[in-house]
A and B are shown apart, each in its own frame.
Chain A
Amino acid sequence: MMASASDELWILGIHMTKFGKHPDADLVDLASEAVKGALADGGVAMKDMGVIGAGNLMAANAGIGQQLQKQLGQTGIPVYNVANACATGATALRVAAMAVKAGECDMGLAFGVEKLSGAGLLSGGSRKSDANTWSPSGRYGAVAPVDGRIGTEIMPGVFAQIGMEYGHKYGGTSFELFAKISEKNHSHSTLNPKAAYTKKMTLEEIMGDVMIAYPNTRPMCSANCDGAAAAVVVSGAKLKTLSREQQRRAVKISASILTTDPWEESCQVLPDVNTLTRNAANQAYEQAGVGPSDLNLVELHDCFATAELVHYDNLMLCEQGGAVDFFNSGATWRDGSTPVNVSGGLESKGHPIAATGIANVWEVATHLRGEAGDRQIQGARVGLTHVIGLGSACGVHILEKSAA
């Protein structure tokens, strides 16, 4: 079972469930569907796996990895149950990748699963009546809840400010501009049968929808839904021993990076999602030996329309400060020079948190394999995936088509 340290990492098999409402499937059912799909896609079985990176956020103390083993195969291998906010899936994939790269095993499994249908705001606690007598508590010595009294803790509001801050710094943003980004992603989703929502929306419909936190209306927010995704990682040496068909469909992981937010002046006041993304992208481009202009498609973390804009810049898809012009040029539409979120993104494909950081790898891998059907980006050879978990963690993967 022991392998030697591996310089090359490949995705051998990968799968995602349809995102959406799955009222009759529990977490283990969804995870099982994704894992069985990934194993079958790679032509391997649980007995071939040397490690499992298991991601679930909302029930992070429940040991989802072992729960899955109890259904699909108790082979005794190490399980790492991980929780890293919206970067949970990417973190699970990193765990499998690190184990294979370190030579602890030659094949590893990663999966992420979440059930979020019907969930509302995921942060910003409901405010109960204040205490009978004021008593300071917590790290700010607060005598009463501060969400809504000292700024906002709700994600649509936090990410709204992140987009607005970019607009203040560089200019050119508006409610309409952010809504147009959402219009693009909803348009893209019409071609993705695995998306939770596949309805095209006009700019007027998006801007006229329910306001959540200006400038983000409801369709400009990521969609809570159920879903799972799983991937099998294999070393380059092991892949060479597998069939020609397995080698042909394997997708190279040219870079696998995870960063956290380094200290910046305002980072404890408004989360800084920029610096850690830029750092992750820089490391990823260097590790992969590719640049932003080599990317045929990008799946980035559009948890809100306001977030997508800043990540054009953070991932260096455009010049610094140039994200508005870059978007307005049409570059990020599926027929543009750097298609972004051709899956429909989190705003329409959906965002079952722990699944997201593997589902975006599935999307890119499917294009690199030439298996994306109606939404295929023709001739795709290199793609990038990105997730942000607030708190913060950033996962970036660069994937390349097999030369075999």
Chain B
Amino acid sequence: MAKQIPLVDYLELGGDPHLVAHECTSCGARFFDRRNACASCEGIEFKEAAIATTGEVRAFTIVAFAAPGVPVPYVAALIDCEGTSVRANLINVVPDPEHVTLGMKVRLATEVIGTDEEGTEAVGFGFEPLGGSA
């Protein structure tokens, strides 16, 4: 199997791929980026928190017109993963409003986005409809 690297450092690969957030130890606020402090309570200590791999689509858009080089259409969404909001594409679904709906249940899925010249695969993530493609 080719060597793999996650598209972003908050995607944990391996047998059970999932997202990991920095969780403020004093107020519980969760962040996906490198932190200087907590924007909610000014705390400076964080622990790693695994994010639920299933969730519900709270908002979406189907992007039909993007910057040059970005393939369209794609579905961008805000997913409520058991109380933690996650930004991701919806994948393995027909990108039209008949197949993508508010409130639909989804789960995390990974996909290889490319291979570099050393043969390393970059692995991204998206969310797909629970119970197979809608």
State the A residues within 8 Å of B (CB).
121, 124-128, 130-134, 136, 139-144, 146-152, 154, 156-158, 160-162, 164-165, 167-168, 175, 210-216, 263, 265-266, 268-270
Contacts and interface: CB of A to CB of B under 8 A. Distances in A.
A270 B88 contact: no
A402 to B, nearest CB: 43
A148 B70 contact: yes
B85 A269 contact: yes
A206 to B, nearest CB: 15
Nearest to A171: B102
A134 B71 contact: no
Interface of B: 5-10, 29, 31-34, 39-40, 57-72, 74, 76-78, 83-89, 97, 102-103, 113-114, 116-118, 120, 122, 124-125
B74 A148 contact: yes
A149 B124 contact: yes
B67 A213 contact: no
Contacts of B72: 148
A154 B69 contact: no
Nearest to B64: A211
* Of A126, A141, A165, most B-chain CB atoms within 10 Å: A141
A133 B117 CA distance: 6
Nearest to B8: A140
Contact of A150 (B7, B66, B84, B122): B7
Contact of B63 (A126, A157, A265): A157
Contacts of A125: 67
A157 B76 contact: yes
A161 B61 contact: yes
Nearest to A147: B70
A148 B65 CA distance: 11
B102 A214 contact: no
A161 B67 contact: no
B37 to A, nearest CB: 11
A132 B117 CA distance: 6
A270 B86 CA distance: 9
A167 B102 contact: yes
A273 to B, nearest CB: 12
A142 B5 CA distance: 10
Given A127-B67, A133-B116, A157-B61, 5 more contacts: A130-B122, A150-B8, A265-B85, A266-B78, A269-B85
- Which 10 pairs show the lowest CB-CB distances between chains A and B? A141-B9, A266-B85, A127-B69, A160-B61, A165-B59, A152-B76, A148-B70, A214-B62, A151-B87, A139-B33
A69 B14 CA distance: 61
A263 B5 contact: no
Contact of A121 (B39, B66, B122, B125): B66
A161 B62 CA distance: 9
Contact of A134 (B10, B67, B116): B116
A132 B87 CA distance: 27
Contacts of A128: 69
Contacts of A265: 29, 83-85
Contacts of B84: 265
A4 to B, nearest CB: 37
B7 A143 contact: yes
A134 B60 contact: no
A317 B39 CA distance: 30
A140 B10 contact: yes
B116 A211 contact: no
B59 A213 contact: no
Contact of B40 (A127, A263, A270): A263
A151 B58 CA distance: 13
B89 A150 contact: yes
